[in-house]
Amino acid sequence: MKKLALLVAAALMCASMAACGSSSSSSASGSASASTSGSASASASTSTEATASGEETTGDTLIMGTNAAFPPYEYYENDQIVGIDADIAKALGEKLGKEVTIEDMDFNSLITAVQTGKIDMVLAGMTVTPDREENVNFTDSYATGIQSIIVPEDSEITGPDDLAGHKIGVQESTTGHIYCADDYGEDNVIAYTTGANAVEALKTGKVDAVVIDNEPAKAFVEANEGLKVLDTEYTVEDYAIAVSKENTELLDELNTALAELKEDGTIQSIIDKYITAE
């Protein structure tokens, strides 16, 4: 985890140099191409060669959309997007005989991007929710996510009940955002473009807690002195791949490939590569 912690620290530094805040105007953009040749490893050769925005999908390329500030699922290693989702996408691409390229964008933009065909699929630690299911189709789940609470080490907040009346930082449009706004009121929630920006706000005292998925929470805490993840789970969720409702063929292909990758242990070995048991 040490290496990951350093990377997260670097990502946080980048995030803090960029315009932080609740505005979604500082949009993350860029793309990296993940080669499907070779093993599904984080070191697979990638380049920053862009897939032109809005370009129609060709038959042998799959464009994955993500928000690459969500370690260990997706984050930058130099100019490459790596992580559990990137590796799973590559393994799926290998099964389907397609090259996978990755588009980095705001989490908030992913559903629209897949609906309009800018990207073919979303792998972004995205939780299956009934609202999202109205707009996109989800594959079978490939991982479990937990919404966790990060606080300063000396915080009086010990669990979800203590969040009432406090300022809570979240990542815009995530389930953490939606649930916290429902449970504690929109006025108590400050939404940031990335989880890294929300953690930065916690460090500088702009918010009292951050609600975010458990694995990124652990990575952020590891990379930042003076913070801790509370033991209590706020919610438990299923991560799945989102595809356009129009593209049922891709949905079926992905589900078949996913089942094979679960069966032969590939998915578990990818998860184990990034998440070490404590």
- Residue closer to ligand GLN by CB (options 236, 256) is 236
Q: Which is nearer to ligand GLN, 75 or 224 (CB)?
A: 75
CB 71 within 8 A of CB 42: no
Stretch in the footprint of ligand GLN (CB under 6 A) among 32-40, 56-64, 125-133, 158-166:
125-133
Among 36, 139, 171, 247, which residue interacts with ligand GLN (rule: CB under 6 A)? 171
Which of 127, 137, 224, 244 forms a contact with ligand GLN (CB under 6 A)? Answer: 127
Please give the Cα distance from 116 to 95 (Å, whole number). 25
Stretch near ligand GLN under the rule CB under 6 A, chosen from 11-19, 90-98, 122-130, 185-193: 122-130
Whole-angstrom Cα distance, residue 74 to residue 105?
12
Within a 10 A sphere around the Cβ of 135, how many other Cβ atoms? 13
- Interactions with ligand GLN, residue window 70-89 (CB under 6 A): 70
Site string for ligand GLN, 20-59 (x = CB under 6 A): ----------------------------------------
Question: For residues 202-241, b (16+ Cβ closer than 10 Å) or e, as one string?
Answer: bbeebbbbbbbbbbbbbbbbbbbeebebbeeebbebebbb
169 binds ligand GLN (CB under 6 A): no
Give the tokens for residue 42. Answer: 């984080």
CB of 59 to ligand GLN, least distance (A): 28
Q: Is 142 in the site for ligand GLN (CB under 6 A)?
A: no
Nearer to ligand GLN, 145 or 169 (CB): 145
Task: Please answer whether residues 44 and 83 qualify as being in contact, where contact means their C-beta atoms are separated by less than 8 angstroms.
Answer: no
Distance in angstroms (rounded) separating the CA atoms of residues 241 and 122: 5
Q: Phi/psi of residue 112, each to 5°?
A: -65, -40
Residue indicated by tokens 């916290």? 180
**CA-CA distance, 42 to 273, in Å (whole number)?**
10
Q: Does 139 bind ligand GLN (CB under 6 A)?
A: no
Q: Indicate the residue among 169 and 195 with the shorter CB distance to ligand GLN.
A: 195
Q: Residue 11 corresponds to which tokens in the numbers above?
A: 């990502």
Given candidates 75, 107, 138, 184, which one binds ligand GLN under the rule CB under 6 A?
107
Question: Measuring CA to CA, which residue among 230, 168, 212 is closest to residue 71?
Answer: 212
User: Hey, which residues between 206 and 235 contact ligand GLN (CB under 6 A)?
Assistant: 213
- Please report whether residue 138 would count as binding ligand GLN according to CB under 6 A: no
Least CB distance from residue 55 to ligand GLN, whole Å?
24
Residues forming contacts to ligand GLN in the complex (CB under 6 A) are: 67, 70, 107, 124-127, 145, 171, 174-175, 195, 213
